Chains A and B, each alone.
Chain A
């Protein structure tokens, strides 16, 4: 068996176990599905209430804000579906389970991403439904570029989300407990991606573009798809199409950092 075949086989088994556990704990699954649904429903309800009282936010209508939200939700849900287990790294470090990853002849990060959980792509399904609705509400130009680039942008966005989580998880090799850091990053992501970044001051826009490039998950692509003329940093609208590249670049940085973390951990010699 070639390496690639082994990877594919492990990955297939991993998803089989995920589905089987989700099926076994059906009641639990339903509760968590309700959780996911209510979470996004309250966020959208809040947007709707606000934009009913204040019809435009920097030129964005409710439909356009919903589109902005659904782009983020798609990327975030894809990240949660494929890469959620990276959040368990700090716990693996704490419990000493990480040593096991070094012994097995498989890439440690791949092993982290294939630790069985109870993952089900329910959030992704909700995200697709919302995206369809938001597309009807906001009326973007649907052409060949839209069809090609929406999936690419979503994959890029998921990579950005994943890479930032990976970097935070890697910090656990030094600090062990990074719960607070994770919580803060998560909060920043969900609150700062909810609105067009043009409402923020210059410094915040720069951070969201270059340092923690969350703006490439939804803001820049949405301005392109919706043909918005306002632009937060005077970039041409096509910049939104760079999301896949930004995703790959952030992943390259995050992965290098992860390798440094792994080496550091070995040198301590637990």
Chain B
């Protein structure tokens, strides 16, 4: 238990640090609500003017977008970005001298941040419910949704970690990270449900890891992924976690060796 102790403290510090930026939290909730409202207007306009049977009903589309936005409060946090700033100012060298596992330190710092932002989901959800009506699925579906959300979260976390490790070689990765973020938002189904993509594109996208982040939990939530498919999609998400975890270990091992060779 004592081994875990410092990491809990790191997380607590990060939590209080985030809590000091109260204005930022209010604006992020505010902008989220504006977007919830925007999506409702966009979907309504689209369904109103285009008859036809679709993979999602209007109500499901609104629910999908609203839940996606709430998920993004947590998903969009780059939990290991401390790595990049530490590489930039060189302070990573002293971290290596401390009796801690450095990646775990970054992870705990990010966890504190994530826990804080997860707490902001509750008020956001309540306010969002005032603006739009969203569907609430059965408890069983909700449990599977949260499980899938957690798996999706770890896919994103590990992918970010792998990306951040690139900074060991290049230092400047901000532009590249934003590019990956936009591609993830689009191909992961955050902006538009993947079921609306052209079929040819869909079969291609489902081979990529992005769908494991947003699309899978969201399609479980709105009921497009049915109970008999749960096991398959959850295993697929788990598979991506394993793949990215292996990549993360390799990247960290080779990357951190570079720091030692350079002498910090």
A54–B182 contact, CB under 8 A? no
Q: How far is the CA of A39 from the CA of B185 in the complex (A)?
A: 11
Secondary structure dominating the interface of A: helix
Q: Which of B45-53, B206-214, B227-235 contacts A (4 or more CB under 8 A)?
A: B45-53
Asked if B45 contacts A58 (CB within 8 A), the reply is yes
Inter-chain contact B47/A35, CB cutoff 8 Å:
no
Is A57 part of the contact surface with B, judged by Cβ < 8 Å? Answer: yes
- Partner-contacting stretch, out of A8-16, A138-146, A177-185, A242-250: A177-185
Closest to A28 in B: B172
- Complex Cα distance A201/B28, Å? 22
Interchain CA distance A57-B201 in the complex, whole Å: 22
- Identify which of residues 173-201 in chain A touch chain B, using a CB-to-CB cut-off of 8 Å: 179-181, 183-184, 187-188, 191-192, 195, 199-201
Is the pair B186, A46 in contact by a Cβ cutoff of 8 Å?
A: yes
**Interface residue SS majority, chain B:** helix
0/1 string, A35-72, CB within 8 A of B gives 1: 10011001001100110111111110000000000000
Which one of A39, A184, A195 contacts B27 once the chains associate, using CB atoms below 8 Å? A184
> Do A39 and B182 touch (CB < 8 A)?
yes
Contacts known (A32-B175, A38-B183, A57-B49); A46 close to B41, Cβ less than 8 A? no
Q: Which residue of B lies closest to A38 (CB)?
A: B179
A31 CB–B CB distance under 8 Å:
yes
- Do the beta carbons of B41 and A199 come within 8 Å of each other? yes
B186 close to A45 (CB less than 8 A): yes
Q: Are B34 and A34 in contact (CB under 8 A)?
A: no
Chain A residues near B44: list those with CB within 8 A.
199
Asked, given contacts A39-B182, A46-B192, whether A54 binds B47 with beta carbons under 8 Å apart, the answer is yes
Chain A residues closer than 8 Å to B185, beta-carbon distance: 42
B:221-249 near A, CB below 8 Å: none
Indicate if B119 sits at the interface (CB-CB under 8 A).
no
Instruction: Report if A49-B45 is in contact (Cβ < 8 Å); known contacts: A35-B179, A181-B27.
Output: no
Return the contact of B34 from the options A31, A42, A56, A188 (Cβ within 8 A): A188
**Cβ-defined contact, B186 with A52, below 8 A:** no
Closest 7 CB pairs of A and B: A199-B45, A180-B27, A54-B46, A35-B175, A54-B50, A53-B196, A42-B182
CB within 8 Å of B: which residues of A?
28, 31-32, 34-35, 38-39, 42, 45-46, 49-50, 52-59, 179-181, 183-184, 187-188, 191-192, 195, 199-201, 204
